[in-house]
Amino acid sequence: MAVDHLLLFDIDGTLLLRAAAAHRDALHAALVKVHGLAPEAIGEVPTAGRTDLEIARHLLLDADVPPDRIDACADDVRQAACEAYAHLCEPDLSHTVAPGMRELVAQLAGREDVCLALVTGNLEPIARLKLSRAGLGEFFPPRQGGFGSDDEDRTQLPAVARERAARDGQPFPRERTIVIGDTPLDILCARADGVRCVAVTTGSYGAGELAGADAVAADAQGVGDALSDLGV
């Protein structure tokens, strides 16, 4: 059976809840290691919906690191963050899976007409380890999706994911691709690529702030219902 739909799931705030502390600490450790920042010199910036390298850039700019040095050391920060996360990540993250989300993705992954993939600001090694330890990794195949390691600009990631899900040499069709996320930036990245979006209020944003999506759901069951309404 041909794949009819490409579903691109965000991780933090969508698939997993309250699983970001070790991730934050790993990114900060990378900035200390690569740029020699004192830990107390690392401030706070909004993170929801942003890519890891975009977050790192804002933290470094706030610490007066020159932009050319940020660019020159981006690969080193990426590698250091992934190495730090491998040490800091809890061995079992199953308690962070959003209620009902395992059942939803298992049901979708079992369908031959659906392809599941990730679109997340996480660097790919961090995303894969995080989902593996949460017990969801098996539902998201390798060599699929779009990650913060592919592009610092979140709006570019749905197109990356569609390219990786190509059929007959052509990117997966926009009209059959849906982003599922929990922030206005998830909606923005979907719109930037001309694909649809289902937003869920399990993160830090309410329904009013997510009204630009094609559908807004309160939980995993609502996501499933919204996808059905959209023809999935």
168 pLDDT exceeds 90? Answer: no
Whole-angstrom Cα distance, residue 83 to residue 41? 22
- Provide the pLDDT for residue 197: 98
For domain 5-18+92-229, give the CATH superfamily: HAD superfamily/HAD-like (3.40.50.1000)
59 vs 26: CA distance, rounded Å: 14
pLDDT tens for each residue of 124-152: 999 999 999 999 999 999 999 999 999 99
Q: What is the pLDDT of residues 53-71, one digit of tens each?
A: 999 999 999 999 999 999 9
Inform me whether the pLDDT recorded for 2 exceeds 80. no
Q: Give the pLDDT score at 169.
A: 87
- Position 1 scores a pLDDT of 57
CA distance 184 to 205: 8
**Which residue, 143, 140, 146, is CA-closest to 115?**
140
Closest CA to 84 of 140, 21, 145: 21
Neighbouring residues of 169: CB distance < 8 A, sequence distance ≥ 6 = none
Residue pair 173/7 in contact (Cβ under 8 Å)? The answer is no
Report pTM.
0.95
Residue 167: the pLDDT is 85
